[in-house]
Structure 1
Amino acid sequence: MTSEARALHATAPSDEGDLGDLTALAVQGDPGAIEVLLSQVRPMVVRYCRARLGRISGHYHIADDVAQEVCIAVLSALPRYRDMGRPFASFVFGIASHKIADALRSAVRSAVPTEDLPDGPDDRPGPEETVVRYSEAERARDLLTRLPEHQRELVLLRVVAGLSAEETGNVLGMTAGAVRVAQHRALARLRAMASEESGA
């Protein structure tokens, strides 16, 4: 790891400027910068993929595989990446959106049940806990699908992917203040829909 990459890693990118500096070094081929950049981007990509692909049989391994494909695609595209005034996160989430769409198409085409034999003891949650988790996740997904697309994407980026208001604004082309207002409205709408369901 180069001294520049070490210094950027030590400051743990907290704003788009730090990530931009790190991206510039990674594009130039600095192995340390590439390693640090991917370590910063990967957790966001995994959360985003899990949020978008969790409805495929509830298996996170599919989302994790797609997240890995996204990271590989980002790594291969790095030498060709050019800063066009948009944040690097927009570039990453653009790749993620395409890979997620591919995975959804593939899941629809190849939905064939198979029987797998377990390799060892089953330490997964019991049937009751699984049903409760699945039911809660289904309810949350159902509520999210009833939001308009822009609000749904904002909630996924802010709440699930864990992006800051500034990062989300950069991805969606909004100011941080507009993101906070839109998030407040989206969450209020979700609460209202949830309470309508509970009361009905």
Structure 2
Amino acid sequence: MQDDREIIAEVLQGNKGAYALIVNKYKGKIASILQRSLGHSHEAEDIVQEVFIKAYYSLPDYRPNHSFSAWLYRIAINRGIDELRKRKRTPFVAEMNVDLKDECPVPEDIYLVKEQRNGLRQQMMVLDKEHRTLLDLHYLQHLSYKEIGNKLSLSVDTVRMRLSYARKKLREQLIKTEKKGGNPL
């Protein structure tokens, strides 16, 4: 079985049929990500197709030193967030249910990411410093659990546990803000 990077290289060299290998390999996971945040619907199936179309046209922007699967999942998550915004739901809470090892936003989504980061930072200011630091390192600086552990002299399990608690506290803060009639992000 070919490596993702080899398949992408073939596609970029003009072998458009090789992209079907990528679609077949990842369509189940992309559908799962979108169904978790959007629910089971025909819209989710259409959005899966949109994700693969967007990824295809964005392949020249993909950086091979990053995980392809994480890059593709990020496209799916961002598309799901766009859909949730259309439905006027809280996008960040849905996004946090997906566990990614490496997040790599595509250039088309830089503005959306900046907007989300600003809103997230405002909500995080209510949390204590330890929780803010963990959330910032993982979600805004895109560090892995291992990298965070090395930086803070913590084990990976401790980082995972504390980050889980920090997400819970942030989720509670987002819900509280929404109940007060504010926009959580």
Q: TM-score, normalised by structure 1?
A: 0.46
Higher relative contact order (CA 8 A, sep 6+): 1
Larger Rg belongs to: 1
Q: TM-score, normalised by structure 2?
A: 0.50
